[in-house]
Structures are given as structure tokens and as C-alpha cells.
Amino acid sequence: METLDRAPFREVTAIEESKPYGKKLYDVEVDYWRKMSSDSCKETYKTQPGHVFLLSDAKPESISDIQESKKSWAFLIVTEVSNRSFKVKASKELQVSNGIQPSLLMVFLINITPNIKIWKAIDNNKSARWKVLFSDNFLKSFKKLKSFRVKMSLLFLLLKLSSGWRPNKRNVEKNCKRSSMIWKKFKVEGIYIVCTTDIEKDRRYVQVLKIWDILPDLLNVQKLVDQLDCIFKTYTDGFISLCRKKCLDGDLEIPASWPPALDVARFEDLSITKKTPSYLLGDSSADRSYVEKSNVSESLLLMKFYSLSSGVANFLLSDSEGRELDLPFQLTDQEMEIVRYNRSTFILGRSGTGKTTVLTMKLCQKEQQQRIAEEGFYGVENALSHVFPNNNKVEQSPTGANMCVLRQLLVTVSAKLCFAVKQHVLHLKSFSSGGNHSGECSSTDSIDFEDEEAQFNNIPDSFLDIPPNCYPLFITFHKFLMMLDGTLGNSFFERFLDTSEPRPSSRSVALQTVLRQKEVNLARFSTSYWPHFNIQLTKKLDPSKVFTEIISHIKGGLGVTEAGDGKLSRGDYVQRSEGRASNLSKEKREMIYDIFLT
């Protein structure tokens, strides 16, 4: 809409107020349609209700010309059409005289009727039958789109699909080449989206629609489908059969569902008793799996998904500044099982597989459960106070001082990750509550996330008397050690302070300095210690493996607490080579212990 030099326009021949229908309503008569680039060019154009025009006394080349001009202009939206006259509603009151207004032009801008329909569909998405999940790749591609109209059209299609609508075209659905999974492609405004049906476990097993990406051409569509096919090939026939099942309600397709007792595995059993397929072996054949070749950040198996709703759709369309969107994404069945598990949980996985994600969501779920429980409790208390007005119990609101505080603590290694997790949780709270969530200890707008002192300046170096609004508490391991040290009373770290040098302004700064100077991490171990060890020992070992064994087993294992000298004995450590979980021989364990004693 920025460029107007090719936009159709008409010259206004008459304009007068449309009485008695109200202010800013006018009857307008015009001559024939022309284009701005040529006054002699007559163009066939049909005006419809919902079309928006610019009324001006000059010929603008662009919207910028209007904004910079001091000439008179207004926006008009057509409400009713008849031949060469129509009724319009203006953005401001117009100065009309005897029905004649010379030298005025009406320049076509946009047809907002489709947008109105889409907005109504977004705001009143009560007919949704399907749960629609869109991937992180879809979100990234969506943010790159420049046209607001294309964004609206894409979301409108997803909302139609959620209602159960399916096109009659036969070429929409296709079978994968190596698996029997069905994939679908839809073309919108010259671009394509690819989707498949999946199964999600909640109270029941139910079909959901997964939107994988927005792609510019069929070549990229086929490339994505080939990558998905490598994943679907590992699915069991029973699981694919559930995905392919179709249920109809008249002309609409509705999701099939099954009872929770259903026991169908998603992936094939690739145990030793079965021959591992060649596409999972990672060899040099053309059948090699995309999943094995890809990085964690590129893996479709580890892709995050977000649930489409009217709130999410509005949020996507309102993001006009190109900033990062922080939406609550969909958890996998395995991740949801961990989140709902109400006992202690140990999560093991390589970088990028979602460990922090699961812990963050588990923290948020407990926060939500606490809030719901408090609202229910205080709701009952308030109701009883009306029934028993003489009750001596003091009535407290969920925001009162005597409210039960849920004390949750999340510890990270780096200050950068700590800051990111804290911001993510705050965004999730804000999104779920439909507003802003803030507290005295949550103000991080001007903080350098690499600066631990600045990030935790409102948190004391002790676990005693922490303000309730600081929870959930997000801190680094260094900060955790300082708080633990301050809680014990008899400080362990203060013995390392150099009394001959001027003491820093705060205890936190002093202890941070001690930790940085005295702590032996992997980088310092590899550069400052490793070169000085016996080369006959180090040439057969990896420094990271030796460092891990010393920190996690010799000095940090469960058996250390039973030993009186703070380390595992040589005999106990070497004996662990006999365990089934050990991948270190007795000889290597002897060498590692020799390095530890050096």
C-alpha cells in the first residue's frame, strides 16, 4: 500500500452528507476509473463494500507523500454501491458545500472485507474440532513474511483446517515414498505449507494436525517431505494406521480418538534381535537418515511445536517489530510425562534436547497449581465468612502477607542461561495471565545477563529471609554456593580472602572473585594442569574424561560422604571398573587416580 502511482483512482464529481444516517457518512458520485500513471488510461474496476480509498485534493505517488503533505486528505470506506455513486464513511468530517467539492480524487488503497472475515474467524474460533500445532520452523518462516495480507491468509487457512474443513482437490494428500504416512500440502498466496496428522496423548489418544513449515516452491516441499519420510520410516505400522484413520461428520473431517488404555508404540523396536535398517546406521549410502546427519538445532525429531489458538493468532499478527516471539510451546508425550511426574526426576540428555525446557515447564506447572489451589482455598474462606460472620479467623486474599509461598529454585551453570530461563518463565506467566507479570526481583530490563553481580543484586547471599516475590528463584551455581555459604554461618570461602589487599565493597563481589580465582574448571584443568602431568599417563587419556571422573566420582560421588577424607579411595574407585555401567578399564582407572594424586 506504500506505492500509489499505479493504484486505480476516480475524480469526485459530487459529495454531500448522507442524512439522516449520522456523522461522517456521505453520498459520493464519481467519474470513470483511471490509473495514476496515465490520465488517459481508462481501467475497468468494480467498487465493492469494504474497499478503502484515500480522498485527496492532489495526486500522491506514495503514502509518504500524503504524510509529508499539508494538503487535505481523509480515508473513506465504502458501505454501499450503486452504479457510479456510493455511500462512504469518512475518517473525519468533510467540508462540503451545496453538494459540490471540486478537485477531489478517490484513490483505491485496499479491500478489507477478507481481513474482517479473518479477524472474526480468529476472535470467534469456537468451531475448532482439531488441535493445530505449528512448528518452530513455521514460526520462523511466518516472521519473515512481509505481507500482512499473506499472514492473514495463512492463519485463516489454519483456522479453517482446525474446523474440519478439507479441500476437494485430490492432489492435496499424498503418500510418502518409503513409509505409508500421508502428508498434505496447501497453496496460499503462491507459497506452500506442509502438514501431517499425528497422535497426542492427553486424557485420550487423539489425532492432531502438525504444520511443519512455510515453503516458497515445490522443490523445497519435496526436500522437507523426504526428511520427514526418514522419520516416519521408523514408526510402527500400527501407529501410522492410527494417523491415517479418517472420521467424517457430514462434510467435515474430525479427529479420531482412542481410550487411554491403547498401547501402540510410535517407533519400531531396533533392539539387537532385529536388523537395524540401513537408513539409521549412518553409513555412506544414499539411504542415510536425515535425522542422523542433522545437528540438534536442525533435527525435526526435536522440533518444538506451538498450539494454535485465537490468542496465539492475534499475538502473531500483532508482532510488527520483528522481535523474538516467546510463545508457550507444545510438549511431547515423553516431556509431558516428566512434567506431570510428582516425584524427584533425573533428566539426562545431550545439549539441545530439551532438558531445561522440561524443567522450566515443570516449574511453571507447579506455579499454576499453587495459584489455582490458593484461589480455591481463599474462595472457600470468603464464602464461609459470609455464612459465619462472627468467625474469628482472619480473612486473607491470595495477595495477602500470610499467603503460602511456593519456594522453587532453578540453578544453572551460566549467567546467560539463567537470565534466558528467567525471562522465558516471566513471558509464559504473562502470556497465560493475559497481562504483565512483574515483581521487585524480576526487573531485568537494563541488566547485562553476563554480569552475575548485577543480575542478583536484589537477592541476599543467604537462603534466610528471601523476599517472597523473588520466587521462583533463578540463580547460577556460583550464586548458589555463595548463598549456601552465607546460610551456614561459619563461612568456608572467607578463609581464602586475601586480608592484605583492600576488601571489595560487598561480600558478593569478594566471594565471586575468590570463586573465579580458585575454582578449577575444565578450561583451567586442561590448560594449567594437564601439561604438567606425566605424559605416559596423559597420552592414553582425554583431559575432559579425567576431569569428569575426578569431579563426579573421586571427589563428588555418593561414596565420598562415607569416606572421612573427602575423596573416594583408590581401591573403591578402581573396583568400579567391574560394574556393568563402566566404560573404563581397571588400568585406565589406576592411571586416572595417579593423575588425581599428582
DSSP code per residue over 521-560 = -HHHIIIIIGGGS-HHHHTTS-HHHHHHHIIIIITTSGGG
* pLDDT at residue 93, rounded to an integer: 81
Per-residue three-class SS string for 208-257: EEEEEEEECCHHHHHHHHHHHHHHHCCECHHHHHHHHCCEEECCEEECCE
Grid cell 506455579 in the structure block, residue: 367
For residues 297 and 295, what is the distance between their CA atoms, to the nearest angstrom?
Answer: 5
State whether 336 and 306 are in the same domain.
Answer: no
Which CATH number do you get for residue 87?
2.40.10.170
CA 413 and chain centroid, separation? 22
Confidence of residue 288 (pLDDT cuts 50, 70, 90): very low
Q: 409: how many CB neighbours lie within 10 A of its CB?
A: 14
Q: What angle do CA 522, 569, 549 make, to 5 degrees?
A: 25
Task: Tell me 87's DSSP state.
Answer: E
Q: Nearest Cα to 282, choosing from 291, 292, 267?
A: 292
* pLDDT at residue 215, rounded to an integer: 95
State whether 147 and 183 are in the same domain.
Answer: yes
The total of structural domains in the chain comes to 4
H or E, element range at 431: helix 415-433
More confident residue, 5 or 109: 109
For residues 87 and 47, what is the distance between their CA atoms, to the nearest angstrom?
Answer: 11
* pLDDT at residue 287, rounded to an integer: 41
Cβ neighbours of residue 383 closer than 8 Å, sequence gap 6 or more: none
- Hey, what amino acid is at 115? N
Q: Look at residue 356 and tell me if it is in a domain.
A: yes
CA distance to 522, 526, 535, 541, 545, per residue, from 531 (Å): 13, 8, 8, 12, 15
**pLDDT tens, position by position, 159-197:** 889 889 888 877 788 898 888 899 999 999 899 999 999
For residues 171 and 221, what is the distance between their CA atoms, to the nearest angstrom?
Answer: 14
H or E, element range at 110: strand 105-111
Q: Look at residue 505 and tell me if it is in a domain.
A: no
What integer is the mean pLDDT of 88-93?
A: 83
More confident residue, 31 or 192: 192
State whether 62 and 92 are in the same domain.
Answer: yes
State whether 238 and 365 are in the same domain.
Answer: no
For residues 332 and 321, what is the distance between their CA atoms, to the nearest angstrom?
Answer: 30
**pLDDT tens, position by position, 473-528:** 998 888 888 888 888 878 777 777 766 666 655 667 777 777 777 788 888 888 88
State whether 176 and 288 are in the same domain.
Answer: yes
More confident residue, 3 or 409: 409
- Kindly state the greatest CA–CA separation across the chain: 108
Last residue of one domain, picked from the residues 367, 388, 409: 388
**pLDDT tens, position by position, 363-387:** 888 887 777 776 655 555 555 454 4
* pLDDT at residue 6, rounded to an integer: 67
Confidence of residue 239 (pLDDT cuts 50, 70, 90): very high
Q: Look at residue 580 and tell me if it is in a domain.
A: yes
CA distance to 147, 282, 307, per residue, from 267 (Å): 40, 18, 24
H or E, element range at 156: helix 148-162
State whether 593 and 578 are in the same domain.
Answer: yes
* pLDDT at residue 585, rounded to an integer: 87
* pLDDT at residue 1, rounded to an integer: 45
Give the three cell numbers for residue 556.
563428588
* pLDDT at residue 92, rounded to an integer: 82
Q: Look at residue 124 and tell me if it is in a domain.
A: yes
Grid cell 500421508 in the structure block, residue: 182
Does 2 have pLDDT greater than 60?
no
Cα atoms in the Cβ-side hemisphere of radius 13 Å centred on 503: 9
What's the chain's average pLDDT?
A: 75
Percent with pLDDT over 90 in the chain: 13
For residues 80 and 86, what is the distance between their CA atoms, to the nearest angstrom?
Answer: 5
* pLDDT at residue 329, rounded to an integer: 64
Q: Nearest Cα to 426, choosing from 414, 411, 409, 441?
A: 441
* pLDDT at residue 308, rounded to an integer: 83
Report whether 89 contacts 127 (CB < 8 A): no
For residues 387 and 393, what is the distance between their CA atoms, to the nearest angstrom?
Answer: 13
Cα atoms in the Cβ-side hemisphere of radius 13 Å centred on 264: 21
Q: Of 137-146, 271-280, 345-354, 463-472, which gets the smallest average pLDDT?
A: 271-280
* pLDDT at residue 169, rounded to an integer: 73
Q: Of 16-20, 115-119, 334-338, 545-549, which gets the smallest average pLDDT?
A: 115-119
Q: Look at residue 431 and tell me if it is in a domain.
A: no
Residue 185 backbone phi and psi in degrees, to 5: -130, 140
Confidence of residue 282 (pLDDT cuts 50, 70, 90): very low
The whole domain housing 52 covers 8-111
Percent with pLDDT over 70 in the chain: 70
Q: Look at residue 251 and tell me if it is in a domain.
A: yes
* pLDDT at residue 290, rounded to an integer: 40
Does 225 have pLDDT greater than 90?
yes
Give the three cell numbers for residue 175.
503418500
Q: How far apart are the first and last CA of the chain?
A: 74
State whether 190 and 288 are in the same domain.
Answer: yes
More confident residue, 255 or 113: 255
Q: Of 107-121, 290-304, 489-503, 556-570, which gets the smallest average pLDDT?
A: 290-304
Give this prediction's pTM: 0.53
Confidence of residue 449 (pLDDT cuts 50, 70, 90): low
Does 451 have pLDDT greater than 50?
yes
Q: Look at residue 272 and tell me if it is in a domain.
A: yes
State whether 239 and 123 are in the same domain.
Answer: yes
More confident residue, 238 or 51: 238
Does 402 have pLDDT greater than 60?
no
Range among 15-19, 267-271, 349-353 rated most confident: 15-19
* pLDDT at residue 579, rounded to an integer: 73
* pLDDT at residue 431, rounded to an integer: 62
Last residue of one domain, picked from the residues 60, 88, 111: 111
Q: Look at residue 210 and tell me if it is in a domain.
A: yes
Range among 73-87, 92-106, 129-143 rated most confident: 129-143
State whether 106 and 229 are in the same domain.
Answer: no
Does 595 have pLDDT greater than 50?
yes
More confident residue, 332 or 256: 256
- Hey, what amino acid is at 127? S
More confident residue, 503 or 99: 503
More confident residue, 46 or 327: 46
State whether 289 and 345 are in the same domain.
Answer: no
Cβ neighbours of residue 87 closer than 8 Å, sequence gap 6 or more: 18, 21, 25, 26, 27, 28, 78, 79, 80
Cβ neighbours of residue 133 closer than 8 Å, sequence gap 6 or more: 198, 208, 209, 210, 211, 305, 306, 307, 308, 330
Cβ neighbours of residue 326 closer than 8 Å, sequence gap 6 or more: 423, 424, 427, 428, 431
Confidence of residue 563 (pLDDT cuts 50, 70, 90): low
In b/e form, how buried is each residue of 425-444, taking b as 16+ CB within 10 angstroms? Answer: bbbbbebeeeeeeeeebbee
User: What DSSP letter does each residue of 10-50 carry, written as one string?
Assistant: EEEEEEEE-TTS-TTEEEEEE---EETTEEEEE------TT
Does 283 have pLDDT greater than 60?
no
* pLDDT at residue 254, rounded to an integer: 93
| 398 cis-preceded (ω within 30 degrees of 0) | no
State whether 178 and 211 are in the same domain.
Answer: yes
For residues 125 and 213, what is the distance between their CA atoms, to the nearest angstrom?
Answer: 22
* pLDDT at residue 207, rounded to an integer: 94
Packed helices 415-433 and 355-387: angle between N→C axes, nearest 10 degrees: 40
Last residue of one domain, picked from the residues 111, 141, 175: 111
Does 95 have pLDDT greater than 80?
no
State whether 369 and 350 are in the same domain.
Answer: yes
